[in-house]
Amino acid sequence: MLETTIIFLIGLFVGSFLNVLADRLPREESVIKGRSHCEKCKRIIKWNDLIPLLSFLMLKGKCRYCYTRISFYYPIVEVVTGALFALVVIFVSQESIMHEALSIRYVWELFYYLFIVSSLIVIFFADLKHGIIPDKIIFPAVITSFLYQIFNAQYSIPSYLFSAIGACLFFLFLYLVTKGRGMGFGDVKFAFLMGLILGFPNIVVGLYVAFLTGAVAGCILIIWKKKKIFGTSIPFGPFLALGTLVAIFYGKILMQSVFYLVSL
């Protein structure tokens, strides 16, 4: 419980940095240079106004200088990151116990999944806000996942490679058929990453959840006549990221449930 609480607090601070990545990478701005500032009045935000979640609550969701409302995206990303970091600790701890893993494997898996979850969070909100899946997130995540699978699951690496290539080709087909209107090329690259992370059969779970939630959200937005919020098309990256997260943490349980129902 103590470890989970600590990792949740760490996740809040990491989430603050992920906000920077999700905002600046799609705009091709430096994530190192330049201090955080108010989008409205351009005043530099002081360090005591950058404390994750706490500063938002203390300022009542408004800029200290011009009183412009601060987007709820920022505290949401911080809380979501903290919660997912805590979930990663629980997930990796259970996996390590099941495989009677050494502590070195626990640390390796913990850092890997924390990195992947962080990447998925940036992809989710960058695509949601700007309609772009940054290559600077996709490519490092692909390399990291490939190396992880080589060292951690070398005997089943074909499963992950075939899943990555198969998902990528499927999305490339959709991209070509719709001429980029129904599916962006960023989604094609993300599909390859999904396959490397999930392997088979978890990739099936991830894609199923993505298409299901995407369809439901699309129907709701059309009914409420809110589709114009996203322009001409609804970004699919957030649903792919959501599907990947569900498949990572609950893919085995969902597949076992399906097999059980089929066997009845």
What residue spans define the domains of the chain?
1-132, 147-264
With contact defined as beta carbons under 8 Å apart, do 211 and 239 qualify? yes
* Report for 111-115, 150-154, 230-234: range of highest mean pLDDT: 111-115
- For residues 171 and 39, the model is more confident at 171
Poorest-pLDDT segment among 5-9, 80-84, 225-229:
225-229
- Residue 67 CA to residue 246 CA, distance in Å, equals 38
What pLDDT was estimated at residue 12?
92
What pLDDT was estimated at residue 233?
67
Residue 142 has pLDDT above 90, yes or no: yes
Q: What is the pLDDT of residues 60-106, one digit of tens each?
A: 778 777 777 878 888 899 999 999 999 999 888 876 655 555 567 77
Per residue in 226-258, is it b (16+ CB within 10 Å) or e — as a string?
eeeeeeeebbbbbbbbbbbbbbbbebeebeeee
Residue 242 has pLDDT above 90, yes or no: yes
Q: How many CA atoms lie within 13 A of 139 on its CB side?
A: 3
Q: What is the pLDDT of residues 143-158, one digit of tens each?
A: 999 999 888 766 678 8
Amino acid at residue number 179: K
**Residue 62 per-residue DSSP state:** B
Q: What is the pLDDT of residues 164-176, one digit of tens each?
A: 999 999 999 999 9
Q: What is the mean pLDDT of residues 218-238?
A: 72
Residue 125 has pLDDT above 90, yes or no: yes
What pLDDT was estimated at residue 162?
93
What pLDDT was estimated at residue 252?
84
pTM (global) more than 0.85: yes
